[in-house]
Structure 1
């Protein structure tokens, strides 16, 4: 017997570009007979909150978000309906699954075939080009929802679906080997604190860069080998070189949403080092010395979220207890205040929102 699906729900809606969030208690729920083949309906138990959601709400990226918009893209819940005429569905009603930034892709183009589903020209993006997880029920796609490992807490899994997958993939492609040094600007933030842990799983030595006593404590507890407070250190580049035998780090994974972190990385990377560009500042440009980029044989790689396999791997590592998300549990109705905290930079770790019962 299929679960009963209500006609309305609670949802956090951005009615127009840059407008304030509205909590609507009579937002419509898509019914089973309205689902297209390949679509499924998920009853969410929780959702993470990401800086990307804030960018979508503010509409301050070069790419425009849809409006009206239900944001969010780190949801965990149960499949309660699947569209008619859906063939070979990898999930069934009752399965617990996660929803990611990449909601859907064609799976047939060159990008998809090469494992870059996130770069598919037909990609649908949760909480950006299609409505996302800041609601009790969300339409998703059977081929792109991710099964949550049995026994893994839903609240803990939520942020792994974006923040975890994103940094996991970046570290995976950072051209490093065990024992190498990796620098993590923004290490105390939502992505950064997970990056510390995935880097340690990969056997890397971690230099955490951020500011404040709370973030220092968090980073060191999570396994960072060295800490640099960017507000207290006079010369970050020289400090990093001093910590790495004067040679510089092997890689830098920049999750900070400012251009300064990218420019400095070229200066403190050693010869053959790799800059992994992950943060997505809305208007900033990547400025770097072309001469020293070439002279030092520096690689600059953009790493944009992850594919389906990356998500499975990142979740498996976290489900084994090797990576833990530091999160604060709040309520969907608190979303506006959460955004205020993110804007001021006072959020350490991640925020997860419970859905109304």
Structure 2
């Protein structure tokens, strides 16, 4: 075993635990911490300083996705912290004690199967998911995996880096597979949300023109400040399809990246997309897409699912943020505020992102 010099790993910690499906969130002050001697080869113990809160964490808590979550469970998958221990017999570790690293939704994969070799690590049959099938980052300490934790650039603050590890890499990867080029139009339903406000910035960094779709004055102000070329409020628009098409040369956007977990966002996209356009599916309502097959075929629409990103995508998305091209708009709270954050997420009240400060470092 290997422990950071001068660091003592405590026996217990504060953690937000959901003991069974649909159970209330409990803040436990004496949750056990896995000790260095108990780490398996390839595992590392990370002392968490900050973690983001994602809508996916709600699904993990309630177990309302077709893919089951494991309980009892510590949620969270946007964590930043310091490696304080590495399991014995971990050869050629790409990270070392004392490194500041990020923990993503994809906690681990085998790296050897066809999916991993082809760059679809997230689809590995042996994939482990942070805060879903293994404990996540709503705790002071979390066990993760040396091959999958992501080094954080030195000039990127931990609180901002947290959301890049999920919302950032997810939207960045989705734009990479959107079949767009510099100067193309992209529509972003849910643009003022946690994923959406980052998608606006990554799209601008990639040279795209952005149609931001959401509702409310706060979100309008946010997306315009981030560089959105057009704002459309879906609640006040009398004909949203016509408005989107009119804003993009009368032909419609070249791509739509739907980050909102709403079936409506998908059904509308087929109508407003430009011929030959791409619908990128990111938000995950457990519902049928409702895409009109006739118009999908007639307009030569491509439907592309995009599920998080690879280790390389994470590094690229962090580098773009470190270069100052993407800024995470967030409100910082303590871990004990998680329950109220969940309530605000369900009510759609959060513009940008909420970051929890878990421990001082």
Q: TM range, normalised to the smaller chain?
A: over 0.9
The residue number in structure 2 matching 1:154 is 158
Q: List, as ranges, runs of 4+ consecutive aligned residues in structure 1 with deviation greater than 4 Å.
A: none
The residue number in structure 1 matching 2:301 is 298
**TM-superposition CA deviations, 1:304-332 (whole Å, max 9, x none):** 00000000000000011100000000000
The residue number in structure 1 matching 2:145 is 141
Matched, 1:318 2:284: no
Partner secondary structure for residue 30 of structure 1: coil
Q: Which of 331, 334, 338 is the aligned partner of 2:334? A: 331
- Work out whether residues 8 and 28 of structure 1, in 8 Å CA contact, stay in contact via their aligned partners in 2: yes
Unaligned runs of 5+ in 2: none
- Work out whether residues 2 and 81 of structure 1, in 8 Å CA contact, stay in contact via their aligned partners in 2: no
Matched, 1:236 2:240: yes
- Work out whether residues 2 and 80 of structure 1, in 8 Å CA contact, stay in contact via their aligned partners in 2: no
- Work out whether residues 344 and 350 of structure 2, in 8 Å CA contact, stay in contact via their aligned partners in 1: yes
Q: Which of 5, 9, 30 is the aligned partner of 1:5? A: 9
Matched, 1:342 2:340: no
Q: In 2, distance between residues paired with 1:257 and 1:241? A: 22
The residue number in structure 2 matching 1:110 is 114
The residue number in structure 1 matching 2:22 is 18
The residue number in structure 2 matching 1:309 is 312
Matched, 1:245 2:286: no
The residue number in structure 1 matching 2:80 is 76
Q: Which of 188, 194, 200 is the aligned partner of 1:184? A: 188
**TM-superposition CA deviations, 1:202-248 (whole Å, max 9, x none):** 10000000000000000000000000000000111011111112211
Q: In 2, distance between residues paired with 1:80 and 1:205? A: 43
- The CA RMSD measured in Å over matched residues stands at 0.7
**TM-superposition CA deviations, 1:31-67 (whole Å, max 9, x none):** 0011000000000001000000111111111111100
Deviation at 1:336, TM superposition (A): 0.2
Partner secondary structure for residue 253 of structure 1: strand
Partner secondary structure for residue 195 of structure 1: helix
- Work out whether residues 105 and 130 of structure 2, in 8 Å CA contact, stay in contact via their aligned partners in 1: yes
Tell me how many residue pairs correspond in the alignment. 356
Deviation at 1:356, TM superposition (A): 4.0
Q: In 1, distance between residues paired with 2:195 and 2:359? A: 26
Q: In 2, distance between residues paired with 1:111 and 1:206? A: 32
- Work out whether residues 10 and 356 of structure 1, in 8 Å CA contact, stay in contact via their aligned partners in 2: no
Deviation at 1:2, TM superposition (A): 5.2
- Work out whether residues 48 and 159 of structure 1, in 8 Å CA contact, stay in contact via their aligned partners in 2: yes
